[in-house]
């Protein structure tokens, strides 16, 4: 039998992939590590099919290892009888809790088969929500920004876990970046916010990200010329 790591996407139940939905419908149990992923999964399966896993709110490594060993034991026990799924927001292999389960299963239950079903990640969904185009050939760095600590080397960055938006904004604007923030993008829970004003997202929220682009970047694209022509034509018609 198999444990499927299923990415649920950024939080909108309609953004679960077709394969992800099929897996959720086919397995015996759908394990959820948290309230938000549970609520998305419930749009696709009955509540009786959900298996909740409890994890302590701590950074203590011993407590966390103990919790993951218990979770892996439960998941492996069910997986010996039938296929099961472990769901996570975003993609299972990108800043996800699924990595902890996979490592623990590999160590203590190596006989269990694992398969990952990718999901839409906030790192790609942000571009649509913020109306940002990441052009072909563009470099794009990903980094966490918890507490306002960020690097100012890359030309373009996606920052997530932005828990101190004002400090992040100050650091980046002083370093020559334009900055946009997005909170709970494509999520059904909570208010979605897209803004370039850090005061709009100054309360701590784990699901806040930012896009930073160095001012004055040149875009060497054949069709970039159309932007200039289109602007001129619109001005002529008004």
- Residues near 213 by beta carbon (within 8 Å), at least 6 away in sequence: 132, 155, 156, 157, 177, 178
Residues of the chain with CATH 3.40.1010.10: 2-117
Superfamily of domain 122-214: Tetrapyrrole methylase, C-terminal domain (3.30.950.10)
- Residues near 60 by beta carbon (within 8 Å), at least 6 away in sequence: none
Q: Give the pLDDT of the chain (238 residues) as one tens digit per residue.
A: 899 999 999 999 999 999 999 999 999 999 999 888 999 999 999 999 999 888 877 888 899 999 999 999 999 999 999 999 999 999 999 888 899 999 999 999 999 999 999 999 887 888 888 888 888 777 888 888 877 778 788 899 999 889 899 999 999 999 999 999 999 988 888 888 999 999 999 988 888 999 999 998 876 667 767 665 555 555 555 5
CA atoms within 13 A on the CB side of 77: 7
Handedness of CA 162, 167, 169, 171 (dihedral sign): negative
Is domain 2-117 given the CATH code 3.30.2130.10 in the classification? no
Summarize pLDDT for 80-121 with one digit per residue, the tens. 999 999 999 999 998 888 999 999 999 999 999 999 999 998
Residues of the chain with CATH 3.30.950.10: 122-214
Distance from C-alpha of 156 to C-alpha of 231, rounded to nearest angstrom? 25
């Amino acid at each position: 039998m198999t444990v499927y790591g299923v990415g649920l996407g950024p939080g909108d139940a309609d953004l679960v992939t077709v394969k992800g939905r099929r897996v959720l419908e086919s397995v015996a149990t759908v394990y959820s590590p948290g309230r938000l992923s549970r609520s998305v999964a419930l749009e696709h399966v009955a509540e009786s099919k959900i298996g909740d896993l409890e994890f302590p709110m701590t950074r203590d490594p011993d407590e966390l290892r103990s919790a993951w060993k218990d979770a892996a034991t439960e998941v492996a026990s069910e997986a010996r009888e039938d296929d099961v799924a472990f769901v996570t927001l975003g993609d299972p292999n990108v800043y996800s809790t699924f990595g902890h389960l996979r490592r623990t299963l590999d160590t203590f239950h190596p006989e269990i088969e694992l398969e990952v079903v990718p999901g839409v990640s906030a790192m790609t969904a942000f571009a649509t929500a913020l109306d940002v185009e990441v052009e072909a050939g563009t470099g794009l760095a990903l980094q966490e920004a918890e507490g306002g600590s960020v690097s100012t080397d890359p030309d373009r960055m996606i920052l997530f876990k932005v828990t101190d938006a004002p400090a992040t904004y100050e650091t980046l604007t002083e370093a020559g970046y334009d900055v946009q923030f997005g909170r709970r993008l494509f999520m059904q829970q909570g208010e979605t916010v897209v803004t370039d004003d850090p005061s709009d997202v100054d309360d701590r929220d784990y699901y806040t990200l930012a896009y930073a682009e160095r001012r004055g970047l040149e875009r060497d694209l054949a069709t970039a010329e159309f932007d200039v022509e289109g602007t001129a034509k619109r001005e002529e018609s008004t």
